[in-house]
Every structure is written in C-alpha cells, then in structure tokens.
Amino acid sequence: MTQPDLRPTLAAPDDDPYLWLEEIEGERALAFAAEQSGKTLGRFGGPAWEKDRDALTAIMNRKDRIPYIAKRGDHVYNVWQDDKNPRGLWRRTTLESYSQAEPDWDILLDLDALARKAMLADGLRPDYPNITGYSLGCYPLHSPRTSDFSRIFLPTAHWTLEVGMVFHMYVSADGIAISETVLVTETGHECLTRSPRQVFQV
C-alpha cells in the first residue's frame, strides 16, 4: 500500500491552524509560549517546584558528573554543557584517558563561542536567543515542517554530536545571514557548502 503524500502544495496548502508557531522567535509565538508557561507554573509552580528546579540545575552544572560519550574509532566524543558553556563544548579523548579521574579532553568545537560571542562582542546584536543550526536528513512525508527537526542548536539542548550528522548552521545580524551546511567527521567537520562567498547589492 502506497503511503499518501501529505506535504502541502500550492493546490493544497497546509491548513494547520497553529502554523504560526513555526515562527519560533515571532512575537505571537513567544507570547503564546509565555502564556502557556504561566498557566503551567500557576498550577504546578511554587516553593516545591522552585526547590526541584534549583536542585536539578545544580546537578546539571556539576563539574564532576559523568560525561556521556559516543565512541568513534580510537576516540570517544562528548558535548559538555554547564552554566559557563550553555551551548556546549564538543570534545574528544581516548578511552584510556576517559577512564581516568580527570580525562585530557581535546576541544574540537566551542559551539557557544562560534555562534554567539563574536556577534555580541562586535555589537552586531544586543543578544542572541535564537537557534544557530538544525539537523538535515530524511524525514517522513508527514513531517515537512521545521518544528519536526530532530536536532536544533539552543542553549537548552541536551543531545550529543556524532560522526555522520549533517547540520545547516547560520548566524544573522541586521538582516544579513551567513549559513553553511556542515558534516560532522571523525576529525572535526567538513563544510559541504560549495557556493562562492559573494555580496550582492540590490
């Protein structure tokens, strides 16, 4: 049996009444999220919730927690997040080093510094709360929207970069965006974007 193609077309546009939520940084979407969060906190918030939140935050920021790893070849890889690195440090070490009390990590990529600090330091933006990348790949026919992306780069993300993943990465300021398609490799990354860097005046 052939699966029907449910993706929207010009003849049959998407009739999702909540499509505006795809604009994750739009004023309406942010206001809706704040409203829903307020309802949740109004019902379940309070001293006990705040205590649990603070305890869990302290646990996640502990420097002695066990790093989750993925083994590739002769190395193990980890994305480390804490209060000073909310977006994460992509790093690797050997299995022998990982078994020690204090592993000797090689920093492969400081995601937070790459995506944010340069923009903020040069005064191109007052802040940088939006995502700076998302994963690419095959998705089911019924999942054509950006909210269905399985991996996005946000300070609150909790997932691990692995060899073979492909991401569309971008930074933007003052109406100008620069983007790259990047493949995660054994030794770091490979830029898959082949278009020449040009500035067009219109």
Q: What is the DSSP string of 153-164?
A: --TT------TT
Whether residue 196 is contained in a domain is answered as no
Whether residue 13 is contained in a domain is answered as no
**Same domain (yes/no): 48, 80:** no
**Same domain (yes/no): 99, 154:** yes
**Same domain (yes/no): 133, 34:** no
**Same domain (yes/no): 111, 175:** yes
For residue 191, give the nearest of 109, 117, 91 by alpha carbon: 109
Q: List the domain range (segments joined by +) for residue 82.
A: 61-191
For residue 168, give the nearest of 92, 108, 115 by alpha carbon: 115
* Strand-pair partners of 70: 77
Instruction: Tell me 122's DSSP state.
Output: T
Whether residue 7 is contained in a domain is answered as no
**Same domain (yes/no): 33, 68:** no
Whether residue 97 is contained in a domain is answered as yes
The structure's pTM equals 0.42
Weakest-pLDDT range from 8-22, 23-37, 59-73, 100-114: 8-22
**Same domain (yes/no): 109, 89:** yes
Phi and psi torsions of 112, nearest 5°:
-65, -45
The token duo for 87 is 């977006």
**Same domain (yes/no): 165, 71:** yes
**Same domain (yes/no): 35, 110:** no
Give Cα 122 distance to the centre of its chain.
23
Tell me how many domains the chain contains. Answer: 2
Give residue 56's identity as a one-letter amino acid code: L
Whether residue 200 is contained in a domain is answered as no
Choose the most confident range, by mean pLDDT, from 3-17, 35-49, 76-90. 35-49
